[in-house]
Amino acid sequence: MAATQLKLAWVIVYVPDVSAALALYERAFGQKTRFSVPTGDYGELDTGATVLAFAADELGADNFPGGPHRPALTDKPANVELAFTTDDVDAAVANAVEAGCTLLAPATVKSHGQTVAWIRDPWGTLIELCTPIG
């Protein structure tokens, strides 16, 4: 039997406050909310072909035993990051920090020519801000 081709449909970040996460990502990264459930425990941003969504921690606990684990802001980031591309990484970093994110590593040019910086949102999510590759 041939394997079915899978397509990444969305990424969900579990947060304590979905409305606050949607608002921060609108301010920090210019994303717009495309959908939010009336109960306030799930919402999505309009990010193009792949959706970035937020779900309440309680929803995760209802979905699978134990729910999600969020590293403390003093811990190393988790092993997943969100990446947003931009032509102006420095401006994107400044805007994100002003909106409430924390700078982890300032913009640097990598050996392959890409400019990359890393930040964290207030819930500990690791975010890469970078120029497109190629």
User: What does the pLDDT look like over 71-80, one tens digit per residue?
Assistant: 899 999 988 9
Q: Single out the residue of 81, 49, 39, 36 nearest to residue 101, CA to CA.
A: 81
CB half-sphere exposure, 133, CA atoms < 13 A: 5
**Residue 81: partners with Cβ closer than 8 Å, 6 or more residues away:** 118, 125, 126, 127, 128
Q: Pull the structure tokens for residue 112.
A: 């392959």
Mean pLDDT across the stretch 16-37?
Answer: 96
Q: Would you tell me how many other CB atoms lie within 10 Å of the CB of residue 54?
A: 27
Beta bridge mates, 105: 118
**Residue 1: partners with Cβ closer than 8 Å, 6 or more residues away:** none
Q: Which long-range contacts does 63-68 make (Cβ < 8 Å, 24+ apart)? A: 67/14, 68/14
Q: Which domains does the chain have, with CATH numbers?
A: 1-69 (3.10.180.10), 70-134 (3.10.180.10)
User: What does the pLDDT look like over 114-127, one tens digit per residue?
Assistant: 999 999 999 999 99
Beta-sheet strand order (sheet of 51-56): 10-15, 51-56, 42-46, 32-36
What are the φ/ψ torsions at residue 11 (nearest 5 degrees)? -120, 130
Per-chain mean pLDDT for the chain: 93
What are the φ/ψ torsions at residue 30 (nearest 5 degrees)? 75, 15
Kindly report the pTM of this predicted structure.
0.89
